[in-house]
Amino acid sequence: MAAQLQDYQRDFIAFAIEQGVLKFGEFTLKSGRVSPYFFNAGLFRSGAALARLGRCYAQAIADSGITADVLFGPAYKGIPLGATTAVALADHHDRDLPFAFNRKEAKDHGEGGLIVGAELVGRILIIDDVITAGTAIGEVMQLIDAAGAEPAGVVIALDRQERGQGEKSAIQEVEARYGMPVVSIVTLDDVLAYLESHAGDALKPHAEAIRAYRERYGVVA
Ligand code: OMP
């Protein structure tokens, strides 16, 4: 059954394509899989684009009903994502949450340490770009654990709906392993629904390649 897109999800996909963030072609992923599409969140790179992106993350958080004490943006790509989400939650949802991010390498001078911004205490909501096989999120969980905090969940822009180590999706594995929800602004099903029903003729043929990729690496719904 085709995914039912909410207006903000349809706008988000159109916006990601327009900004060159969501691209179609042939891309080798971190997992080694060769994918017919790629989502590069680093290409949301103007003030207006980041502001709009933050509003989409904030909307996904509001829709999910997840509550948290601190927002966390993992280095590097999660840092601007977490920051713009924190701004959007305060401006549009009346939720002024503390925000933190990490350094990739600990500083041994000045204020030192690995975490910048808010202290990691209580329930931590992770803001990240994409989960494919779930490797990157494991590193973030170690930081939260080391701080003695608890994960509240993960919010990502795109759920690629791919298998992880076994038959379950990488996201289902992350949810089971860490006992927390993972929510996304959009899923691969949403992207397919967009290509099939809303995109122009030039983009429609990409749906075929994505369906074939999903057959090979996707989860059985
Ligand atoms: P996993 O660690 O396998 O879950 O992959 C997540 C990471 O892959 C992201 O944080 C990105 O660095 C990268 N990635 C994308 O950014 N966009 C994609 O569409 C696919 C990937 C990827 O390589 O799987």
- Whether 42 and 75 have beta carbons less than 8 Å apart is answered as no
ipTM over 0.90: yes
- Cβ atoms of residues 116 and 131 within 8 Å: no
- Enter the DSSP assignment of 219: P
Q: Quick one: CA torsion of 83, 91, 61, 101, rounded to 10 degrees?
A: 20
**13, 28, 30, 213: which to mutate for ligand 1, most atoms within 8 A of CB?**
30
Q: What pLDDT shows up at residue 212?
A: 95
Task: Summarize the confidence of residues 10-30 as an average pLDDT.
Answer: 96
> Catalytic pick from 92, 107, 198, 204?
107
Q: How far is CA 178 from the centre of its chain?
A: 17
This prediction's pTM: 0.93
Query: Could you tell me the pLDDT band of residue 72, with boundaries at 50, 70 and 90?
Result: very high
Name the band, by pLDDT with cuts 50, 70 and 90, for residue 112. low
DSSP 19-75: TTSEEEEEEE-TTS-EEEEEE-GGG--SHHHHHHHHHHHHHHHHHHT---SEEEE-T
Best residue for ligand 1 mutational test, from 132, 165, 168 (most atoms within 8 Å of Cβ)? 132
Residue 2: pLDDT band (50, 70, 90) is low
Q: CA 103 to CA 202: how far, in whole Å? A: 41
Residue 167 is predicted with a pLDDT of: 84
Contact 150, 69 (CB under 8 A): no
Tell me, what's the pLDDT at 198?
A: 80
From 30, 92, 104, 109, the catalytic residue: 109
In this predicted structure, what is the pLDDT of residue 207?
Answer: 95
What atom of ligand 1 comes closest to residue 133's alpha carbon?
Answer: 3
Q: Is the pLDDT of residue 127 over 70?
A: yes
Could you identify the residue written with the tokens 């080694």? 32
- The helix (H) or strand (E) run that includes residue 177 is helix 170-178
